[in-house]
Amino acid sequence: MSNAVRRIGVLTSGGDAPGMNAAIRAVVRTALHMGIECIGIRRGYHGLINGDFVPLDFESVSGLSRRGGTMLYSARSKEFMTEAGQDRAVATCKLLGLEGIVGIGGDGTFRGLLELSRRGVAVVGIPGTIDNDIACSTNTIGFDTACNTALECIDKLRDTMQSHERCSVVEVMGRHAGHLAMYVGVASGATCVLVPERPVDIEKDVIEPIRRSRLGGRTHFMVIVAEGVGSAYDVAKQITEITALDTRVTVLGHVQRGGAPTARDRVAATYMGYESVRLLTEGKTNRVVCVQGDTYVDYDINEALSMKKGLDEQTYTVMQALTGVGSHN
Ligand code: F6P
């Protein structure tokens, strides 16, 4: 292990995700273990531009694994998208003597790290987003917790939908990706799941599964809509127009981003935090730490950003078999 690195910074950027705190804790504790000082940069790249920082010691990250959100705050910085903003961020790194930055977030965070790296700062990214849309990693930190949070809400909705024999239309987050919707749909035994990665035909993908379910004896229905497909209100309107079912819309929204992280997210965040510091101490830069199955690996950030993550075909096939969605014949 090289002792060349003396001080690093850690930041969280973009939408927060449960497990980010556990990753911060792991970065700080690993750094201290390796004789490296760790500075928390608050409010993501906005904070890096403005010199908004907090020195982090062993005790300051104590008890953090179980806490949702991010103790460093998060932001989406418009200024950092400009050359001037990026120059100012690098000037802060120089002023504080930060020899490396660990950035926890999604693809926007990684693009930001690339800009720092182009200007000579060593960087490592950790994928933290509930959307699970980082291609090089099977799972991103926060995805598992968000799935469980959404599932808990849907299970509760199901009780009241059953009592009133209604059709629930639930919109889940995921930005342009349907991973969250699909996993939650499979886990909750939804009537159908609509994802942006596949064309949506209301008659075949929604009405027909509802019909099949009704013919099977069911009198309440659960339709999951990924936000990337469009508004759950539009889907509900069409269901009511065609079937006259009593529909209710629930947009789960930001509740999916909160809560204590699951064991899986905490462990992944901890491993990734450890790996990120280890890479910096080995003189590596421009890397993303990710998990493939149960194995932790790292990728060049450019390569990671150029990779495309499709829907998990196996899960989609299972979902199709159980709901009939996508069986356009
Ligand atoms: O990327 C995470 C995410 O929660 C997406 O699922 C969602 O589209 C977006 O962030 C919401 O962003 P904001 O918190 O800015 O409303």
Q: How many angstroms separate the alpha carbon of residue 129 from the centre of ligand 1?
A: 9
Q: How many angstroms separate the alpha carbon of residue 138 from the centre of ligand 1?
A: 20
Contact 46, 77 (CB under 8 A): yes
Q: How many angstroms separate the alpha carbon of residue 198 from the centre of ligand 1?
A: 21
Q: How many angstroms separate the alpha carbon of residue 15 from the centre of ligand 1?
A: 6
Q: Among 150, 133, 143, which Cα is nearest to 266's? A: 143
Please tell me the residue having the least CA distance from ligand 1 atom 3.
15
Q: How many angstroms separate the alpha carbon of residue 272 from the centre of ligand 1?
A: 22
Contact 46, 293 (CB under 8 A): no
Please tell me the residue having the least CA distance from ligand 1 atom 15.
15
DSSP 14: S
Which residue has 């806490």 as its token pair? 67
**Atom number in ligand 1 closest to CA 76:** 15
Please tell me the residue having the least CA distance from ligand 1 atom 9.
175
Q: Per-residue confidence of the chain (329 residues) as pLDDT tens digits?
A: 445 899 999 999 999 999 999 999 999 999 999 999 999 999 999 999 999 999 999 999 999 999 999 999 999 999 999 999 999 999 999 999 999 999 999 999 999 999 999 999 999 999 999 999 999 999 999 999 999 999 999 999 999 999 999 999 999 999 999 999 999 999 999 999 999 999 999 999 999 999 999 999 999 999 999 999 999 999 999 999 999 999 999 999 999 999 999 999 999 999 999 999 999 999 999 999 999 999 999 999 999 999 999 999 998 898 888 886 766 54
Residue whose CB lies within 8 A of the most ligand 1 atoms, among 175, 184, 227, 252, for a mutation test = 175
Which residue has 């759950």 as its token pair? 232
**Atom number in ligand 1 closest to CA 175:** 8
**Atom number in ligand 1 closest to CA 17:** 2
**Atom number in ligand 1 closest to CA 180:** 6
**Atom number in ligand 1 closest to CA 106:** 1
Q: How many angstroms separate the alpha carbon of residue 146 from the centre of ligand 1?
A: 12
Residue whose CB lies within 8 A of the most ligand 1 atoms, among 173, 176, 229, 252, for a mutation test = 173
| DSSP per-residue letters across 113-154 | HHHHHHTT-EEEEEEB-TT---TT-SS-BTHHHHHHHHHHHH
Q: What residues flank ligand 1, with Cβ below 6 Å?
A: 15, 106, 129-131, 173-175, 227, 257
Q: Among 274, 286, 272, 290, which Cα is nearest to 1's? A: 274
- Pairwise CA distance, residues 140 & 268, whole Å: 8
What pLDDT, on the 0 to 100 scale, is given for residue 327?
A: 61
Contact 71, 10 (CB under 8 A): no
The helix (run of H) or strand (run of E) holding residue 49 is helix 44-50
Nearest 5 degrees, angle CA 17-CA 21-CA 23? 95
- Pairwise CA distance, residues 131 & 141, whole Å: 9
* Amino acid letter, 143: F
Catalytic positions, written as ranges: 131
Neighbours of 234 (CB within 10 A): 14
What pLDDT, on the 0 to 100 scale, is given for residue 323?
A: 80
Please tell me the residue having the least CA distance from ligand 1 atom 7.
175
- Pairwise CA distance, residues 316 & 314, whole Å: 5
DSSP 260: P
What pLDDT, on the 0 to 100 scale, is given for residue 1?
A: 40
Whole-model pTM: value is: 0.96
